[in-house]
Amino acid sequence: MAKIAITDYFDTPSAEEREILGDLVSVGPGPDTEVLLVWHDKIDASYVKDLPKLRGVQRYGVGFDNLDVDYLKSKGITCCNNPDYGVDEVSDTAMAFIMTISRGVFRYDAIARKLTDTWQENILPQIKRANQTKVGVIGAGRIGTSVLLKCQALGFQTVFFDPYKESGHEKVVRAKRVHSLDELLAEADIVSIHCPLSKATSGMVNQDFISAMKDGAALVNTARGGLVADLEVLHDNLKSGKLSFVYLDVIPQEPPADNMLIEAWRAQPDWLQGRLIINPHTSYFSQSSILDLRRGAASNALRLFNGEKPLNVL
């Protein structure tokens, strides 16, 4: 039986995991398992009841909403995530979304497909220069901070909201800091979300959230799908023009269930073309990041197994 067990997603330990963990690691937990390596599986009381020797749970990724951290901690089980592996990949995806929104690239492509008699006069009148466009970042951790710095390098104005970030972070990143979500939503032309999914943030993007945004503002989410309460709210506000663009790497249910937004996204009516982009939760991936993910998780799992001080304890 595996001392360190991969719970799901991967069919076999990688060469990187074998190099770090040797024969300690295999797929599938058993009664001798002491550390879990977790992708999607929900790790709660029912999962661990038959794992009497379990001492640690290591997430492969950044999010940990599939771990019942409070329960696991109450049983003396240490929980860790893996927040470092995909900072550039996720922030670069957010930047690609932000730049595409800023210049109207996909919307122009949709418009141009139907043009026969006119051409360059078919402009989007709301387009502004980067230095006149304010990007608002919710959550200034590793990825959010990376987005702030990359936006600044391209000349965007930047503002962020993060009630958990230490005082003075605004000076480090040279961005404006606001102390309420409504302040940020009232200022930002493009809102980019980079906070974890928790009891406090679950469903925070709702009608009240969107109503507090500027008319014609855009929304980017590369964080967690569960931050959005209802995809139909996004549909209604895109159709009314309250939201100019919505670009998502994550959605509440993956793969998506049918609803008004998903049906419109698949059908691509004229009013929506180029304004809604949905990627299949892939912003984390590059050839390098997936190796870093498996190395980082394996290295920390070994710390947990050896009784050493682990990194990124939740």
Catalytic machinery residues: 224, 254, 281
Contacts of 261 (CB under 8 A, 6+ apart): 231, 232, 234, 235, 238, 276
Amino acid at 139: G
Q: How many Å apart are CA 235 and CA 287, to the nearest integer?
A: 34
Contact at 8 Å (CB) between 246 and 238?
yes
Q: How many Å apart are CA 251 and CA 264, to the nearest integer?
A: 15
Please choose, from the candidates 181, 179, 185, 173, the residue with its C-alpha nearest in 3D space to the C-alpha of residue 140.
Answer: 173
Please choose, from the candidates 208, 211, 202, 260, the residue with its C-alpha nearest in 3D space to the C-alpha of residue 231.
Answer: 260
